Every structure is written in structure tokens, then in C-alpha cells.
Copies of this chain bind each other. A is one copy, B any other.
């Protein structure tokens, strides 16, 4: 069984949506990714950093999902990373109200000895320099490296970002980021361009419109799972990435055909995340409910086009 190494923030989020408002709750890319991946039954090692104000109950939650937190450093003189945001009515746009980097400002990721020999590495959204440091501090290249990033790094650290992107197998970004990184409006043309920058696979996340997967020769389009209510989109992309990587680690098949299944796995997990505030939706998911969402995704995408249509 492959293990999964995840690097990403473990943080406090305060979220406001049209449906309500939270105080500081558990958040962070590393949190969403590992919680989501944990349902795929692979050993998970997390590298992150928190401050003195980070409560033990959250560590208990992560440990309860068999997430190894030996690599989560606790800084005794600094506070935990804090993000606060407010979603607009349509849930597709949000304003960042507060970003306090705190412990993340000088985060120097340490790879514990037990974390060496990582099979699948997922780099959550962080500065591209930190992401690259983790790759460089691994004695052996993982079988698969996936990374998330965001427009912010494209704006202020473009060269560093390109250096890191060059080292990974799968880049996971959204449609606007694809346009910005490639300089192309067409996602197809943009994808082709990005696939010359290093990654063999590009995943374009489109929120409620699903996700696209590209390699040099193939494309795949998955819808999002149609939901009656979306309470909080925070962490949906990270949850998607966690399900994707957890599935790939579990199945040990990194072909395009199996990446399609991994996208279905990630899509199913993301659908749970957005139904509740923060990480609530993915804290205690029943396996049978996950399997139900796989079936729904199969059902709503399947069609049987006749080969003999007279056209």
C-alpha cells in the first residue's frame, strides 16, 4: 500500500456565507487534504506548522483519522495561521477579510525520517519555495507529485512558481488560474501550454461546473455532484485534491484512465465538504455514503449513444 505525504497549512478559518458565520474554526489546506484522503485507507503523513494557540482537540481529530502529525511543528512563540473570508450570494466569489500568516511567515518544512520514502506527495497551496524545499528534502523522488497553487503566487513569485511546477507530475488549479498561468483564454489551448511547463497532467477545477483533466493526448470532463445546498465552499478544492491523491495512493495506478477515477473520488469528497461549514462535512463521512456518491456520479454522466444513428 502506498503512503501519502501531504504538505499544507493547518490553520484557523473564520467564514461568513449567506447561510451563517463561524468563529475561528479548524481550516487549512493540509487539514482538508488529509481528512479527505483518510477515507481511502492509506498511511498519511502531514508536514505543517501551528502556533501555541492551536488546541489539542484538533490534533485528536487528525489522529483519529490515522493522520500522522509527527511532522506538524508547534511554534511556542507564534500564533497559528489565520484566514477570514466572506462569500457573496452566489458562493462563487469571496472576499478575503483577514490573512495573518503568523507561523507560516518563516515556515521551514522539516521532513521527519519516518516520512522519507513517500510514495505520493501532495503539495498543498503554499509559497512555491516551500513546496520545492519539500521535494528537495526527500531522499528519493516519490512515484507521483501533485501540487496546488493559486493566482497570488503567479502574481508575486512567478519565476519561483515555474521552477516548482517543472518538478511535479500533476498540477491542480482552477479555470482562472489556468488562464493566468498560460496567458490563454481557451482552457484547451492553455492546458496544452501548461503541459509543456513540466507537469504530465493538468487538472482544472471549475467549482460547481466540475473538473477537467488533460494530458498531452487525452481530455476528461467530470461534472460536480449536483447538490441541493452548498453551505460553505471553503476547502472544496483541497478536499478534492485529498480524495484524488488518496485514491491514487490506494490504487497504485497512475495512468490517465485511473486518474479519471481519482477525479471522481475527489469530486465525491468535495461534495461532502461544501454541505457543511469548515471541515464538519468531511469529519465523519460514512463509507456507504461515499459509495453512494460514486454511483450518483456514474449515473449522471453515463449515456449510451447508438452507433447506428443516421448522421
Chain A contact residues, CB within 8 Å of chain B:
39-41, 89-91, 185-189, 206, 209-210, 212, 218-223, 226-230, 247, 250-251, 257, 260-261, 263-265, 287, 290-291, 294, 297-301, 303-306, 309-311
On whether the beta carbons of A311 and B287 are closer than 8 Å, the reply is: yes
Asked if B189 and A40 sit within 8 Å, CB to CB, the answer is no
Known contacts A40-B311, A311-B41: does B303 contact A264 (CB below 8 Å)? yes
Q: A187: which B residues are within 8 A, CB to CB?
A: 226
**Out of B209, B218, B247, B305, which one reaches A298, CB within 8 Å?**
B305
Q: How far is the CB of A39 from chain B (nearest CB, A)?
A: 6
A188 and B226 contact, Cβ closer than 8 Å, known pairs A41-B310, A209-B209, A311-B41: yes
A227 and B188 contacting across the interface, CB-CB below 8 Å: yes
Chain B residues with Cβ below 8 Å from A91 are 185
Known interface pairs A188-B228, A220-B301, A260-B303; 17 further A-B residue pairs with C-beta atoms within 8 A, sorted by A's residue number? A40-B310, A40-B311, A90-B185, A91-B185, A187-B226, A209-B209, A219-B226, A221-B223, A221-B226, A221-B300, A221-B301, A251-B306, A261-B303, A261-B304, A265-B309, A298-B305, A301-B301
Q: Which residues of B contact A212 (CB under 8 A)?
A: 226
Kindly name the residue among A209, A212, A230, A287 whose own CB sees the greatest number of chain B CB atoms within 10 A. A209
Give me the 8 closest cross-chain CB pairs, A-B, nearest first: A221-B223, A209-B209, A260-B303, A188-B226, A219-B300, A188-B228, A221-B300, A290-B311
Smallest CB separation, A272 vs chain B (Å): 12
Query: In the complex, what residue of chain B is closest to A290 when comparing beta carbons?
Result: B311
A228 and B189 contact, Cβ closer than 8 Å, known pairs A300-B219, A300-B220: yes
Residues of chain B with a CB closer than 8 A to A39's CB = 311
Q: Whole-angstrom distance between the alpha carbons of A143 and B91 in the complex? A: 40
Are A261 and B221 also in contact (CB < 8 A) when A39-B311, A290-B311 are? no
10 A/B residue pairs, CB under 8 Å, sorted by A: A39-B311, A186-B227, A219-B299, A221-B301, A260-B303, A261-B309, A290-B311, A294-B305, A294-B311, A301-B303
Whether the pair A305, B226 counts as a contact (CB closer than 8 A) is no
Q: Is the CB of A228 within 8 A of B186?
A: yes
Question: Nearest-CB distance from A310 to chain B (Å)?
Answer: 6
Contacts of A297 in B (CB 8 A): 305
Among A220, A263, A303, A310, the one with the most B-chain Cβ atoms within 10 Å of its Cβ is A303
Distance of A245 from chain B, by nearest CB (Å): 14
With a cutoff of 8 Å between Cβ atoms, the chain B residues found around residue A41 in the complex are 310-311
Chain B residues contacting A303 (CB-CB under 8 Å) are 220, 222, 257, 260-261, 263-264, 298, 301
A208 smallest CB distance to B (angstroms):
8
* Minimum CB–CB distance for A282 against chain B, Å: 13
